[in-house]
Structure 1
Amino acid sequence: MTDILIDRGTAADGLLLAVPALWEAVIRRLAVDAAVPHGGHTVPSNGATGITVRGDLGITSAFRPDVLLSLPGYDPTVRTLLPVDAKYKRYDRHGVGAADVHQLLTYSAGYTPSDNPRAAIVHPRTKGHSHRVLQVDSPQGGLGNIHVLGVDTHEPPQQVITWVSSMLPWADR
């Protein structure tokens, strides 16, 4: 890293970070911290609980959300899953792209009840938080809702946990 800008007479003297991977780790932690006080926990999104694509020239691929939360539903005896994906994109400035909508719809179809398909994207922003819901419809009816939560990266973690809690299923009650 120190010689990356040497041709311009500048030394970088820095450290490269995989910021999207770091953002995913932060959101995993915040999602768990938001869910645990309400009886939630994470579940693996691989193996028996994974979404797997087979049959394409012998190649197997998988869809795995960054966080898969198991939460008490409206009926406390029934658990519901909520897939959460951390996107290091500025969705406060741009709409959610088709590829991300497709990805989140796959998660909602694979993990959530058919009468309330939902998934969530958490993205960074500044100047407060935001929460909007994308409603994806077809001629056959609703395909699902995608909660898009922007969290202010300048706020303390406890405040962000409160915002993340706002998109969890019990927030609808």
Structure 2
Amino acid sequence: MDDEKREHTKRPVKRHIATVFDATAGRISQDGFIQSRPAPSSKYSDHLSTATQPIRPDEVLFKQRNAPPRYQETDYYYANSKLNKGSDLPSSDLVKALHSYIAENYSKSSLAPSNKIWKSMDETALLALGILVEETASSVLGETGDLAFLEAGGVEEPKSLPKSHDDESSSGPED
């Protein structure tokens, strides 16, 4: 009887859901996660199996359950249009840089894809990290701190550096 109870109380195995980071690291194909050992292909076919060809990250994004329909003529994802006023998304350049850095680290990881770390940086976490980085930069730089990275306007730089007295005496002909 105890064996029957144990059999019915077994936890279902959680399936790892593909994220954009998995796709960027080249781990996702049309058939799901790419196996470390490629599936045997037919000796009569000169085409690669779809099980071993990675798909693009945007394809993974649009295959998500709550993704809007994708139309080729307006190939955009409009989730940001539902944000409240004042809730801006982080800079796309910043998010791309963070994504590139994190994806590179994921691709070099020796951890198994079933490890919890793989689930830690999905699309939402990337946006949250981008917001945190922007907010941190704003608080550190202050209201006018970003001006330190700008050049002064209206000030002309000299076309050539003035020669010092030492330069003139050392560059002359010797007697």
Higher strand share: 1
TM-score range relative to shorter protein: under 0.3
Structure having greater relative contact order (Cα 8 Å, sep ≥ 6): 2
Q: TM-score, normalised by structure 2?
A: 0.21
For the pair shown, the structure with the greater C-alpha radius of gyration is: 2
Q: So what's the TM-score if we normalise by structure 1?
A: 0.21
